[in-house]
Structure 1
Amino acid sequence: MRNIFVDTERIRDLNSGLGQTCLHVGQELVRQQPAGTSLTFLVPPGQTGVFGEPSGTLHYREASWRYKLRSPGWFDVWHNLHQDGAYWPAQRPDRLILTINDLNFLERTDYSEAKKQRKLAAVQRRIDRAQVLTTISDYTETVVREHLNVPAGVPLQTVYIGVSELPVPPVEPPAALINLNKPFFLYLGVLHPKKNLHVLLAIAQAFPDYMLVLAGRNDNPYARHLSEQVSQLGVDNVLQTGPVDELTKSWLYAHCEAFLFPSLSEGFGLPVVEAMSVGKPVFLSRLTSLPEIGGREAVYFDSFEPADVVETLRAGMRDYYDDPLKAQRLQWQARRFRWHNTAKQYWQLYSGE
């Protein structure tokens, strides 16, 4: 029996991209689990059973400070699904796999150079313990090789994360959106400075007959700063929804005019793939991993000056409606990224292939 341990503790925050990754990777690993293997998942307290009832080949360990200090048991394979994992094996497994999602802290202007170097050093220590490294985009692999030392003989490969089929959206808008009675442009994700959302306020000004919907966690100073800017501009067509559930998210994707994602730093960009999967036009920055994910079918902001942002949206929407096959090609681009493929590649790594 080959014993595999996977750290999915971050499902504690399903409103984050990492939480969604842990959830869907875990689900797909169980679906594809081959005979002769045993899976153990690290999960938050109270989440035992999240991937199926415990059995002789499916086990759970609940995260705790005791488990952080001393992880009992021995495993053939230990997989940390992100580089900041706090849980490490007390006994060295035959194969420790570390997935590096991003090094986005290198782009943060609010971090000193000393802090960036400390964080790089912490990631390097984890790399030095691993026998296999994966990243979630070719861009992230390039950044890792540029800023960190990958030991000779340690493989480093890209394993793309995926997108699940969205649930069928409700016919009527969810209760939280009952007053959304205009066509709207959508951003979905945490409201954070690196997402560069303030540049979208020019769109709210230029398109008063449309709403700008910013959906995601907004309990932070940047979200409050956005609200203050909206008040100063005197516009009334910007809606911060806060976190949304899966049905609400599906409704938003299905009914938006376009998806806007001017982020400054992304290791992947899961909401972009979700929007493309339903054939919606996506407008992205040209930075970090986003051109790799959006491909030729996305529209890119070449400048964040207000007039340029507005003109990029106008031109992109004209092209979208003038091209009857555009929505279909966007869906084809999204199909490159599937959780089934993610888990398949991980199982190959677990078996030593």
Structure 2
Amino acid sequence: MININIRSIYGRELTGVQRYATELIARFPSFNAVGSPPGFENGVKGHLWDQAVLPLQLDGLLWSPANLGPVLYRPQVITVHDISPIDHPGWFDPKYVAMTRLLLPPLLKNVQHILTVSEFSRRRLIETFHLPVSKVTALPLAADGKFSPLTLEQQQQHRVLYGWPTRFVLSVGSLEPRKNLKSLFAAWNSWENRPRDLKLLVAGGQGKVFSSIGFDAVPEGVVLLGRVPDEHLPALYACAEAFVYPSLYEGFGLPPLEAMSCGTPVITSNVASLPEVVGDAALTVLPQDTAALREALRQVVGDAELATELRQRGLARAQGFSWETTAELTWQILTQEADRF
């Protein structure tokens, strides 16, 4: 029997971690879903339920797909998407950092196998926690099939329907320090002779916006969309002239892959896992180099030939990622580990 810990998957906003778990679960042949009762989905209560109650409900292998699981339950495979709370604790709530530092080291030592989503995260896990190389496997994420190009007529229809500007550059991600909006806004502000009708749309939960990223007000030409419904995202990507994602740290970085799947030219960072995702199909820059970021924006928006080349490369690159393949390989590991138990 393969059990799946779904405590932190459902009943909350869809993030990369939740998308990963739901996409794979939808493709698994059979499993036993184990979830917490109402009121114990998140926070300290959720972690206490994981540690004290969940193990008592199990018979067989457990897969915990959302970074943490019961420390003392050995027949377990865990997916750790990244170790950003360890690498950059200042970006997170101190309580969450303390919980991660307390639970993650003994958990990784005790479980049978560890999954992660990029070679970057795999290396960080092995180096930081001195894990055997054979204990950690990297399997990438993918873009859903709904992320695909639109015709010019379809793009115009969506712009009118949702009130989007005729010309815009897009950035997608929660408004938090690691998404590096400070550098993006600085690059945008310093772009002299920027086309007057070009806007920068930022889609993502607003959180502690400007106090955390160093801006007191929304820069001229920038539009904060807030959280965009998941069903609107494919069209938003496809209508953009360029997608820019100057993140400082990602375990995988799904938005650039989604943008490439929509045929949108991508500009992203040359750090962490992002070069693995985009390969040679995007312009990559040092994320805090605002001059390089500004120049990349200028090139993609102003050079139609370059934009076309990036679209073609991006579409080809995105086809190399598949939820079906990742689900199949994940299921193979789970069944292998279940047989060992």
Shift of 1:333: 1.1
**2:121–2:251 contact (8 Å) kept in structure 1:** yes
Q: 1:263 aligns with which of 230, 242, 247?
A: 247
Corresponding residue number in structure 2 for 1:41? 33
Aligned to 2:61: 77
Corresponding position: 1:214 with 2:214: no
Describe the shift of the 1:320–1:14 C-alpha distance in structure 2 as closer, same or farther (beyond 3 A): farther
Taking the aligned partners of 2:323 and 2:183, their CA distance within structure 1 comes to 32
- Residue 327 (1) aligns with residue 311 (2): yes
Question: Residue in 2 aligned with 1:172?
Answer: 158
8 Å contact kept, 1:192–1:222: no
Where 1:240 maps in the other structure, the secondary structure is strand
Q: Distance in 2 between matches of 1:64 and 1:135?
A: 20
Post-superposition offset of 1:17 = 1.1
Give the secondary-structure state (helix, strand or coil) at the position aligned to 2:31: strand
Determine which of 130, 151, 160 is the counterpart of 2:140. 160
RMSD: 3.1
Q: CA deviation at 1:181?
A: 2.4
Whether the 8 Å contact between 1:263 and 1:284 is mirrored in structure 2 is: yes
Partner in structure 2 of residue 150 of structure 1: 131
Corresponding letter in the other structure for 2:225:
T
Aligned partners of 1:306 and 1:213: how far apart in 2?
A: 18
The 1:203–1:210 alpha-carbon spacing in structure 2 relative to 1, beyond 3 Å, is farther
Give distance in 2, aligned partners of 1:195 and 1:323. 23
Q: Which residue of the partner structure matches residue 100 of structure 1?
A: 80
Alignment-derived partner of residue 103 in structure 2:
122
In the TM superposition, residue 340 of structure 1 has moved relative to its aligned partner by 0.7
TM-score norm. by structure 2 comes to 0.81
Q: 2: distance between equivalents of 1:45 and 1:7? A: 12
Deviations 1:125-160 (A, max 9, x none): 1112211111110001111111102158x6211111
* Secondary structure in structure 2 of the residue aligned to 1:311: helix
Call closer, same or farther: CA 1:44–1:163 in 2, change over 3 Å. farther
Contact 1:320 1:326 in 2 (8 A): no
* C-alpha displacement of 1:328: 2.5
* Correspondences of 1:288-299 after superposition (within 5 Å): 288-299=272-283
In structure 2, how many angstroms separate the alpha carbons of the residues matched to 1:292 and 1:167?
20
TM-score normalised to structure 1 length: 0.78
> 1:60 maps to what in 2?
none
Contact 1:81 1:98 (8 Å CA) reproduced? yes
Amino acid at match of 2:207: D
% identical equivalent positions: 24
On the 8 A contact 2:265/2:307 being kept in 1, the answer is no
Residue aligning to 1:26:
25
Q: Which amino acid aligns with 1:110?
A: G
Q: What is the Cα deviation at residue 223 of structure 1?
A: 7.1
2:2 equivalent among 1, 4, 20:
4
Q: CA, structure 1 residues 282+254, in 2 after alignment: closer, same or farther (shift >3 Å)?
A: same
3-state SS in 1 of match to 2:263: coil
1:77-126 Cα offsets, whole Å, 9 max, x none, are: 211113234xx388x46x310111101124426279x9978744531111
Which segments of 5 or more consecutive residues in structure 2 lack a partner in the other structure? 39-45
SS at match of 1:297: coil
CA distance change for structure 1 residues 303 and 24 in 2, over 3 Å: closer, same or farther?
Answer: closer
Comparing 218-227 with 16-25, which one deviates more in the overlay? 218-227
2: CA distance, partners of 1:147 / 1:20 = 26
In structure 2, the CA distance between the partners of 1:320 and 1:7, relative to structure 1 (3 Å rule), is farther
* Residues 149-177 of structure 1, C-alpha deviations (whole Å, 9 max, x = no match): 2158x6211111222112677733486x4
Matched residues in 2 for 1:346 and 1:303: separation?
32
Write the distance in 2 (CA, Å) between the matches of 1:335 and 1:167.
Answer: 11
User: 1:267 Cα deviation (Å)?
Assistant: 0.3
Amino acid at match of 2:20: T
User: Is the Cα–Cα contact under 8 Å of residues 263 and 314 in structure 2 kept in the other structure?
Assistant: yes
Partner of 1:57: none
Correspondence 1:252 to 2:236: yes
**Offset at residue 263 of structure 1 (A):** 0.4
User: Larger RCO: Structure 1 or Structure 2 (Cα < 8 Å, ≥ 6 residues apart)?
Assistant: 2
The change in CA–CA distance for 1:7 and 1:223 in structure 2 (over 3 A counts) is farther
* 1:138 paired residue number: 119
Contact 1:204 1:210 in 2 (8 A): no
Separation in 2, partners of 1:318, 1:40: 53
For 2:22 and 2:316, how far apart are their aligned partners in 1?
24
2:256 aligns to what?
272
Distance change >3 Å, CA 239–CA 164, structure 1 → 2: same
Spell out, residue by residue over 1:246-286, the C-alpha distance to the aligned partner (whole angstroms, 9 max, x if none).
Answer: 22211211100111110001000011110011121111111
Match of 2:9, SS state, is: helix
| Number of residue equivalences | 316
